[in-house]
Amino acid sequence: MPERQSAEPVSESKSAEGGVGREGRKAAQGAAARGAGDAEVGAAAGARAGAGGGKAGKGGEGGGEWEVRHLLIASIKRNPYQPRREFDEASLIRLEESIRQTGLMQPIVVRPGRMEGTWELVAGERRWRAANGAGLAYIPAVVRELTDAQSAEWSLIENVQREDLNPIERAGAFRMLQEQFGLTQAQVAERVGVDRTTVANVSRLMELEEPIRQMISMGKLSGGHGRALLAAPPGSARVTLARRAATESWSVRQLERAAAGLSRGEGEAAKPSAEAEARAASREALAKGLGAHLGTKVRIVTDRTGKRGHLVVEFYGLDHFDGLLAKMGYGG
C-alpha cells in the first residue's frame, strides 16, 4: 500500500499485543497537519499496518480531535441523513476490485451509535459498501462525536463538494436541513458553500410530483427541466408534459415554452405519440445493452426527429478510459 511520509509523525500504530509496529509508525507519518483529508489518509495507512480493531492515532481538525480505528464493518449502520440514494453499480464493482487488490486508502467517517459497540456512518458510504462487497471484515474509520444536525450537514457537504448528488437528492438534502434542523436558506447556503438563490431554486424541485422527481433522479430530465416545469400548474397535466419532454428529448427552452403555454391554459400537454414512445424504448434498450458491453453507464440523447443526437459514455479514471477505448477497438 502506498505510504505518505512526513517529518512529524502524529501517532504510533499499536498491535493487538500492545507493541508498536514499525510499519505502523512509518505509515502514520502521513498524518501531518496539512488538513483533515491528508491526515485521514496517512493515519489510515498506519491503521492498516497495525492490527485490526486498534486505535491508529489522533490529530487536529478544525481545533478538535479525531482518531482512526479499525472497526468491524458489521457494526456500522447507514447514516439516516444520507442524502444520496443512487449508487452506480458498475462504479462500485470497480472500487470493490481495487480494494481487493490494494486495500482502502482513505478511511470513512463515523460517529458512535445509539447502542454500545455500534457506529453510524457519517461520510464515505460508497467506500463502506465497496469494502463490504470486497469481503473486508474491518474498515479504517475516523471516529467523531457529532450531533444529528452535524452528521446530516457533513454528509451533505461531502456529497455536494464531490458533486455526487443528483438534483433531487440535493433538493431533498437542502429541504431536510431547513425543515428538520431549522436552518434558514442563508444558513444552508453558508454551510454548503453556495449562494442563497441556489438553495431556494434547488429546494423547490421537491414541489414537483413524484413521477417527475423520479425522471430527474434517473437522468431522463435535468434539474433545469425540473425548474422549467415549476412554471406549469401542478397536477396530472404537468406530469404528462414532463413525460413528453423526456420521451422526445426536449431542450429546457422547449419545455419552458410548453410549461408557459400550459400555465396560460392553452390546452393540456399532448401525450407522446406511439412512434415517439417506441423510439424512446428502443434508445433505452440500446443504451443498456451498450452499457453492459462496455461495463459503464451509457446514455443516448436525440432530437425530436430521433435522427440526430449524441452518445454519452461515462468513465471514472484514465485506466477505465483506456479500457473503454480498447473495447471499442481503438488502439490509439
**Crossing angle for the helix pair 236-247 and 210-217, to the nearest 10 degrees:** 20
Q: Which of 40, 120, 125, 153 is catalytic?
A: 125
Cell of 167: 438534483
Helix runs in the chain, H state only: 22-28, 36-49, 89-102, 125-133, 148-161, 167-179, 185-192, 196-203, 210-217, 223-229, 236-247, 252-263, 274-294, 318-327
Helix runs in 57-195, H state only: 89-102, 125-133, 148-161, 167-179, 185-192
List all residues 6 or more positions away from 330 whose beta carbon is below 8 Å from its beta carbon: none
How many whole angstroms from its chain centre is CA 52?
28
List all residues 6 or more positions away from 195 whose beta carbon is below 8 Å from its beta carbon: 189
Count Cβ atoms below 10 Å from residue 231 Cβ, excluding itself: 15
- CA distances to 101, 132, 139, 189, 299 from 98, in Å: 5, 13, 15, 35, 26
User: Does residue 277 have an active-site annotation?
Assistant: no
3-class SS of residue 309? strand
List all residues 6 or more positions away from 138 whose beta carbon is below 8 Å from its beta carbon: 52, 53, 70, 71, 72, 73
φ/ψ region of 225 (left if φ > 0, alpha if ψ in -120 to 50, else beta) reads alpha
Q: Residue 198: what are its φ and ψ, rounded to 5°?
A: -65, -45
Give the span between the Cα atoms of 235 and 267, in whole angstroms: 14
Would you please indicate which residues are annotated as catalytic (active-site) residues?
A: 125
